[in-house]
Amino acid sequence: MARDHLIRVSDLSVTYCADEGMPIRAVDGISLEISPQEIVGILGESGCGKSTLAGALLRLLPPGAKSEGGILFRGLELMNLPEAELRALRGREIALIPQDPALSLNPVITAGVLIGEVLRAHLPLSAAERRQRVKELLCEVGFDRPEEIYSAYPHQLSGGQRQRIAIAQAMACRPGLLVADEPTGKLDATLQSEIIELLSKIRQQHGTAILIISHDPAILAGFSDRIAVMYAGRIVEVGSSAEIFGRPLHPYTQALMRIASSMITSAGVISRFPAIAGESPDPGCIAEGCRFEPRCSERMDVCSQRYPQTFLPEPSRLVNCFKYGE
């Protein structure tokens, strides 16, 4: 191991085995490291396997899903950790902010209790101490009047407020790693930047490493330290935020950035990518070669024959494309 990473994912794959039809390999051989206090962005189109990757990191996948590979967290191999120890780890050491807070908050439990439940699961606090901690957490995620929010049910809160509750839940036990799955996906532009600001503040104050998932480059710009670009279940390029935005190497990243720059100028809600010409491949049936090949304007003969290995065109940059080596 080069540096002491917080988490080190190596050759991680997840296959959904549906009852009927082909098994779907939603995550295919992903390797990624996150250092303590680092913010890493995962950028990729809808359906490329981002949420599956997030779930796999917590070993929290639906019953039909099989995962292989290695996940080393603080020297602990999560892939062969028993369920009881995983439970103790989830929410305490690694916490997930799920994709849609409208669906991920229990409708019959008040916001305060929802946050308190996380504390209760991991820390030996009295009810009064817990209540106090929850109020502090509510202030921390930006509520002026925690009393009111404490006893509100999720359906009484706005989308932005619900997202803050989900963040407070995830932050309750001061985890080392926060996995935020599209934390701004359902919000408008102002709320998006507020949530991003909040996450930045959390990293500053608590040194929490954050893996932030988004389909929108504008969200990651200026926030994440490094960005991994994902395409059809694989990471195709990794680099620092400045490098990815300033000088993208992979043709897919380049296409993304062209679209993004034209969208950043026209302000407004960015909910989905306008399609890059062509469609991303069906994860059920994937061909041998480079997965971006059918949509790539720079494809070569070799591209359809085998998958491009990882090249290191510059130190600290990874790219999977035959333009950078043979």
Binding residues for Mg ion, per CB under 5 A?
51
95 binds, among other proteins, Mg ion, ligand SF4, none (CB under 5 to 8 A by kind): other proteins
Sign of CA dihedral 102, 103, 107, 111: negative
105 CB contacts (<8 Å, ≥6 apart)?
111, 114, 154, 162, 165, 166
- What tokens were used for 217? 């480059």
Under rule CB under 6 A, residue 165 binds ligand SF4 = no
CB of 276 to Mg ion, least distance (A): 18
Q: Which of residues 242-261 bind other proteins (CB under 8 A)?
A: none
Q: Which residues contact 266 (CB under 8 A, 6 or more apart)?
A: none
Q: Is 67 in the site for other proteins (CB under 8 A)?
A: no
Contact, 302 vs 326, CB < 8 A? yes
Q: Which is nearer to other proteins, 49 or 116 (CB)?
A: 116
Binds 180, which of Mg ion, ligand ADP, ligand SF4, none (CB < 5 to 8 A, cut-off by type)?
Answer: none
Q: Which is nearer to other proteins, 99 or 184 (CB)?
A: 99
* From Mg ion, ligand SF4, ligand ADP, none, interface partner of 62 (C-beta below 5 to 8 A by class): ligand ADP
Residue keyed to tokens 């051989």: 29
- Listed ranges 94-102, 124-132, 249-257, 313-321: which one lies at the site for other proteins (CB under 8 A): 94-102
Residue 76 binds to other proteins (criterion: CB under 8 A): no
CB of 45 to ligand ADP, least distance (A): 7
Looking up tokens 């930047």, which residue turns up? 193
Among the listed residues 296, 317, 318, 325, the single contact to ligand SF4 using CB under 6 A: 296
The separation between the first and the last C-alpha atoms of the chain, rounded to the nearest angstrom, is 27
Q: For residue 102, state whether it binds ligand SF4 (rule: CB under 6 A).
A: no
Distance CA 283, CA 173 (A): 36
| SS3 at position 283 | coil
